[in-house]
Amino acid sequence: MQLVASRWFRLVLVTMLVLSLQTTLLSEVRFFGYSVQLMAIFVAVAGSVHDVRVGAIVGLVSGFMYDAVLATPLGISALVLGAAGAGTAVVLQTFREPTWWLRILVVSVAAALSEILLPLTKAVVGLGGWLSPRMFAVSLVTFMGGLVFSAPLIPISRWTLREQVSLGRR
Amino acid sequence: MAQNKTNLTRAVIVLALASVFFITLDLSDSGSTSRIRRVFDTVFSPVENVSRVVTRPLSGAWNAFRNYDDVVEENDRLKEQVALQEGAAVAAAASVRLSQELLALNGLPTLAGINSVTAQVIGETPTNFSQTVEINQGANSGIKVGMPVLNAAGLIGKVTEVFSNRALVMLVSDPDYALSVKVVTKSSRTPVTLPPLPTEDAPTVDSVLETTETSTTSSTTTTTTTIVGFTPSVTTVPAEVVAGGGSNITVPIASQLSVRETGILEGRGPGSRPIVRFLDASTRADAIEVGAPIVSAGGSRSLAPPDVVIGVVSRVVERLGTAGPVLEIELVADLSNLSFLRVLLYQPITESGK
């Protein structure tokens, strides 16, 4: 029961919903032929409203789930999204009180960079063929998507990863 | 608080190491990652199906907004194309039937002898760095990893992941896709027309049929084609029994048959045409014409049975030294607009057990 009530269980459920939007709506609604990576934006948002560790865990868990529905090797998206989540948190930690627009900007840039990191990681493990100027166009589309989707994802991420307030044991 | 941070750090390290571990497992074709995927699919499929139903109006509206003009234009073009193709299809069907009969007579494998499952595309790849589509048939229909997938035009890819009621198909354009193919090149020798035999030397057809008074007529069928590389032959068919007259009989000889070069077809991602590499270095670039057909080579270790149509040569890039030419291929199947597909229930030896 404690597990079901934990934030990590909520994370898995919410990530499933985000993933289902990614595999259905956003795989069909393409901008200039490219799909906005809502998963990367969600992970970056989680990193922006929490710390480095939580950002990395959200990225790794979401990435595993994303890899499980893709034909890519299991773990590649996990590493990339883990880096994106942690990176977003690291950048925002350098600001004492980041403004809302700065948060959105950093999230969008981190999500866009993850779209460049993914083909690089694939190339490192021997799955070449994706390193082309096309990846910059892909990251630009995800950057634009980040500007649109990160604002509504911030409260969702806050609710999902909210820690239960412990009132102490009797 | 400090304990919590330590736990989170441990979790990050464990998950990161697990990622590296699973990447290694997956790249070494371990079956355990497939099992993980199947388990996750069991949980995720209901969520995805609900999401698909809920978001269908949105995606439909988006497609209507973006593609309406293109669809109208394409419809007009296709109507004209269908009218053009109707006549040709009848002749082609007869040729295919004849070819299949000949292959069967010689004990050679044909696509007609391979069962297939028709499937519908239900989703495109959600990522920008893989070329896959999702189909609505899976292991319950007999589909297995590695099976070739075709549409009405030709080969489009192979099955890479199979779940109970759906499967993922890697398209030919994916950089991870490779297939041995044959390039049908033009003949190196000019066709030879056999002169008519003298009357006295001609086969005495009348002696076989024991007819005495017959007229000499023959019909000549000339096959024309727009496919470069296929040399249409003129076949003279005696329509009626010949008595005493010389007639042209074209006997196919080996030198007149098209030369077939083999190579490896590789995808290069969306927006780029696949290429054929590893052609024999001795292959003359001018022996391969733009428009020459590309078909699967077949063989015991090939991913597809022989003679599945893939595309035509769109560009020949000659290279220096011992490297043979590289061919750019224009696929006959339109990968951007896939709807109904046919999965051949043919599992290559190299993919068996997956």
How does pLDDT run across B276-332, given as a tens digit for each residue?
887 765 656 567 788 888 888 877 777 788 888 898 888 888 777 666 788 889 888
Q: Do A53 and B9 touch (CB under 8 A)?
A: yes
Residue A12 CB neighbours (<10 A) = 14
Residue ranges per structural domain of chain A: 7-26+35-160
Which of B9, B19, B264 to mutate to test binding with chain A, by most A CBs within 10 Å of its CB?
B19
Q: By the 8 A CB rule, do B176 and B125 touch?
A: no
Q: What is the pLDDT of residue B269?
A: 85
Partner residue facing A25 (CB), from B33, B58, B268: B58
Q: Are B225 and B232 in contact (CB under 8 A)?
A: yes
ipTM score: 0.85
Considering only CB atoms, B160 lies closest to which of A21, A71, A128, namely A71
Q: What is the mean pLDDT of residues B102-119?
A: 74
φ/ψ (deg, to 5) at B117: -120, 130
pLDDT given for residue A150 in this prediction: 92
Min CA distance, A170 vs chain B (Å)? 20
Does some domain include residue B37? yes
> What number is the average pLDDT over the span B241-245?
43
Residue B211 banded pLDDT, cuts 50, 70, 90: very low
User: Cα(first)–Cα(last) distance of chain A, in Å?
Assistant: 19
Instruction: Dig out the tokens for B64 from the structure.
Output: 């209507």
Residue of A86, A115, A125 lying closest to B27 (CB–CB): A125
Is any Cβ of chain A less than 8 angstroms from the Cβ of B351? no
SS3 content of chain A, % helix, strand, coil (to 5): 70, 0, 30
Long-range contact pairs involving A124-130 (C-beta distance under 8 Å, separation at least 24): A125/A73, A125/A76, A125/B23, A125/B27, A126/B27, A127/A72, A127/A73, A127/B175, A127/B176, A128/B175, A129/B174, A129/B175, A129/B176, A129/B267, A129/B268, A129/B269, A130/B129, A130/B175, A130/B269
Q: Which of A68, A76, A128 sits opposite B36 (nearest CB)?
A: A68
* Residues of chain B neighbouring A37 (CB-CB closer than 8 A): 127-128
Q: What is the pLDDT of residue A142?
A: 94
Q: Which residue among A19, A25, A118 places its CB closest to the CB of B129? A: A118
Q: Residue B187: pLDDT above 60?
A: no
Which residues in chain B have their CB less than 8 angstroms from residue A61's CB?
15
What count of Cα atoms within 13 Å lies in the side-chain half-sphere of residue B41? 21
Which of A62, A130, A132 to substitute to test the interface with B, most B CBs within 10 Å?
A: A130
CB neighbourhood size of A29 (10 A): 17
Closest by alpha carbon to B133, among B169, B103, B158, B105? B169
CA distance B39 to B196: 72
pLDDT confidence of residue B213: 44
B342: Cβ–Cβ under 8 A, 6 or more apart, which residues? B116, B117, B118, B119, B149, B150, B151
Q: Cβ contact (<8 Å) for B128 and A37?
A: yes
Instruction: Kindly report, residue by residue over B31-77, the tens digit of the pLDDT.
Output: 788 888 889 988 998 999 999 999 989 888 888 888 888 888 888 88
Residue B269, Ramachandran bin (φ over 0: left; ψ between -120 and 50: alpha; else beta):
left
| Sequence-separated (6 or more) residues with CB below 8 Å from residue A95 | A102
Mean of the per-residue pLDDT values of chain B:
75
Assess contact for B281 and B323: CB atoms under 8 A. yes
Token duo for residue B56: 């269908």
**Number of DSSP helices (H) and strands (E) in chain A, helices first:** 7, 0
Q: Measured between CA atoms, how close is B18 to chain A, in angstroms?
A: 8
Task: For the full predicted model, state whether its pTM sits above 0.80.
Answer: no
pLDDT greater at residue B195 or residue B131: B131
Inside any domain, residue B233: no
The angle formed by the CA atoms of residues B86, B87 and B89, to the nearest 5 degrees, is 65
> What is the number of other CB atoms lying within 10 angstroms of the CB of residue B116?
17
pLDDT less than 70: residues of chain A? 1-3, 164-170
The pLDDT of residue B286 is: 64
Residue pair B292/B265 in contact (Cβ under 8 Å)? The answer is no
Q: Is residue B173 part of a domain?
A: no
- Torsion from C-alpha of B254, B258, B263, B269, nearest 10 degrees: -160
**How many CB atoms are closer than 10 A to CB B345?**
14
Q: So what's the pLDDT on residue B336? A: 82
Contacts of B33 in chain A (CB under 8 A): 73-74
CA A140 from chain center: how many Å? 16
Asked if the model's pLDDT at residue B231 lies above 60, the reply is no
The count of C-alpha atoms lying within 13 angstroms of the C-alpha of A132, restricted to the half-sphere facing its C-beta, is 13
Q: Which amino acid is at B40?
A: F
Instruction: Tell me the C-alpha distance between B124 and B226, whole Å.
Output: 34
- Closest listed residue to residue B277, CA positions, set B307, B335, B317: B317
Q: Which two tokens stand for residue A95?
A: 């600001």
* DSSP code, position A94: T
Count: domains in chain B: 1
Q: What value does the mean pLDDT of chain A take? A: 90
A76 interfaces chain B, CB cutoff of 8 Å: yes
Predicted confidence (pLDDT) at residue B244 exceeds the cutoff of 50: no
User: Under a CB-based contact definition with an 8 Å cutoff, are residues A43 and A81 in contact?
Assistant: yes
- Name the β-bridge partners of B343: B117, B149
Most A-contacting residue of B15, B32, B40 (CB-CB within 10 A), to test interface: B15
Residue B137 has pLDDT above 50, yes or no: yes
* Domain with B70 in it: 28-108
Residue B80 lies in a domain: yes
Backbone Cα Rg of chain B: 27
User: Are A115 and A142 within 8 A, CB to CB?
Assistant: yes
- Chain B, nearest residue to A127 by Cα: B176
pLDDT computed for residue B226 by the predictor: 47
pLDDT value for B261: 79
The verdict on residue B333 lying in a domain is no
pLDDT digit string, tens, across residues B150-179? 988 889 999 988 988 889 999 999 988 888
- Dihedral sign from CA coordinates of A143, A148, A151, A157: negative
